[in-house]
Amino acid sequence: MAEEVVDVRPAEVTDAAQLLALLAQLGRESNTFTVDDGIEELSETDEAEQIERISGTTTNVIFVAVLGDRLIGVSTVQASTDFSAAQGEVGVAVLKEFWGMGLGTALVEEILDWARNYSSLERLVLTVQLRNTRAAKLYQHLGFENCTATSYEVVDPTGQRVAAIDMSLWV
């Protein structure tokens, strides 16, 4: 019996419904992944339009991890409005049943390849909760460095205050 292979690829308009469902499930499963406010009000059409808009930029991207016809992970870069258009914020999440299988690494590697070869960004940034040691080690292994002198508190999806740091990578 052939082993199933996970494909990591850019999100497509036809992924809209599954992507919304994936984001909702990730928001329920993880206390380290925050879903944007209002996402539950987005329709499949809204999400499809958003995917299409994002695909037309050099500062934003969505990658999905696909097993068969099922979306099981996502990574994104969103251009920062806080600093400059040359900086993008990274987000990565994988369904809990697939943790520890290298999918987070594969999703971040796709982001790095896109950022270096296709984007107009100069720097990637992210926030990682210190209790998420696997993620912090992954980001360090791929070249991200701490860019905050000390940790600070963020509020997780359950309302708990947790220590976090910012990391960045020049691309």
Q: Could you tell me the CATH number of the domain that includes residue 30?
A: 3.40.630.30
- Separation CA 154–CA 1 (nearest Å): 46
> 143 falls in which pLDDT band (50, 70, 90)?
very high
Residue 76 belongs to a domain: yes
Residue 67 belongs to a domain: yes
Domain that holds residue 37: 6-124
Residue 152 belongs to a domain: no
Percentage of the chain exceeding pLDDT 70 = 96
Residue 129 belongs to a domain: no
Residue 49 belongs to a domain: yes
pLDDT at residue number 27 = 86
Mean pLDDT of the chain: 92
> 6 falls in which pLDDT band (50, 70, 90)?
very high
Structurally, the chain folds into a number of domains equal to 1
Spatial contact of 147 and 139, defined as CB atoms under 8 Å apart: no
Spatial contact of 165 and 127, defined as CB atoms under 8 Å apart: yes
Residue 32 belongs to a domain: yes
Residue 135 belongs to a domain: no
Supply the pTM of this predicted model.
0.92
pLDDT at residue number 132 = 94
pLDDT at residue number 116 = 97
pLDDT at residue number 54 = 94
At residue 58's C-alpha, the angle toward residues 55 and 61, to 5°, is 45
Q: Token pair 């995917």 is at which residue?
A: 51
Under DSSP, the state recorded for 67 is E
Residue 104 belongs to a domain: yes
Q: Is the pLDDT of residue 1 over 60?
A: no
Spatial contact of 55 and 63, defined as CB atoms under 8 Å apart: no
Q: Which residues contact 56 (CB under 8 A, 6 or more apart)?
A: none
CB atoms within 10 A of CB 8: 18
Q: Is the pLDDT of residue 52 over 60?
A: yes
pLDDT digits (tens, 9 = 90+) for 53-98: 999 999 999 999 999 999 999 999 999 876 555 899 999 999 999 9
Q: Which two tokens stand for residue 64?
A: 């999905």
The CA distances from residue 38 to 20, 46, 159, in Å, are 11, 12, 17
Mean pLDDT of 127-141: 95
